[in-house]
Amino acid sequence: MTKKAMKSNIIFLVLFAFSAIAAADKQTNKQEVDLSKSTGVVSFLAVGRPSAIKIRGEGGHPTGLVTIDNHKLSGKLNFDLNSLKTGIDTRDHHMKEKYLDTSKYPEAELTILNTSLPDNFSKDAKLKNIPFKGRLKLKDKEKDINGHFDLDRDNQNISLRAEFSLNLGSYGIDIPKYMGITVAEDVTVTTDLKAELTDK
């Protein structure tokens, strides 16, 4: 082998090694959260008028997969609407059968669009009030939503609290009335989760 050919081979091997390292780095930048293995709750707050009574409900945690790839967060979450409870059986029955029609539409689906994470997102990070955008499908309608989240990360373990508002009328949901109290159209939805990141 000539010196020229040997030099070309060495250059090729060096470039190949750098390419392999870059590919490995790119792979380790991608992480996933399997929400079926998470713990937590989804809750909502509706305010009644004119007495300003507060109606709170709570259900199980969402399922689905969230991906973090090069400081971009995206994913699709499903939530069992039948798991919601407000503490009053009659009100729960009306909520599910009359307003949410869970026999026909048992799940809500939230698609998180590409959301940028700060550059300081690392193995130990505390993020506060990070905005996100998504699409929420409820009953037979899908609408844009805007929200924000807080995230605490300790190595591969994360704690997440996300919040957004939805307008009942925009989903074709009749405005609930109970004992002379009318619920406001805008309802606040909160998700609290604890989960584990896995490298892909």
- Kindly compute the dihedral angle of the four CA atoms of residues 161, 81, 72, 131, in this order, to the nearest 10 degrees: -50
* Greatest CA separation for the chain: 94
Per-residue pLDDT of the chain (200 residues; tens, 9 = 90+): 565 555 455 444 444 444 444 444 444 578 899 998 899 999 999 998 777 788 899 999 999 999 988 888 999 999 999 999 999 999 899 999 999 999 999 999 999 998 988 876 777 788 899 999 999 999 999 999 999 999 898 888 989 999 999 999 999 999 887 777 788 899 999 999 999 988 87
Phi, psi of 101, deg, nearest 5: 55, 55
What is the reported pLDDT for 2?
Answer: 61
Q: What is the pTM of this model?
A: 0.80
CA dist 176 and 186 (Å) reads 12
Residue 87: partners with Cβ closer than 8 Å, 6 or more residues away: 56
- All domains in the chain, ordered by first residue: 31-199 (2.40.128.110)
Rounded to an integer, what distance in angstroms lies between the CA atom of residue 142 and that of residue 110? Answer: 9
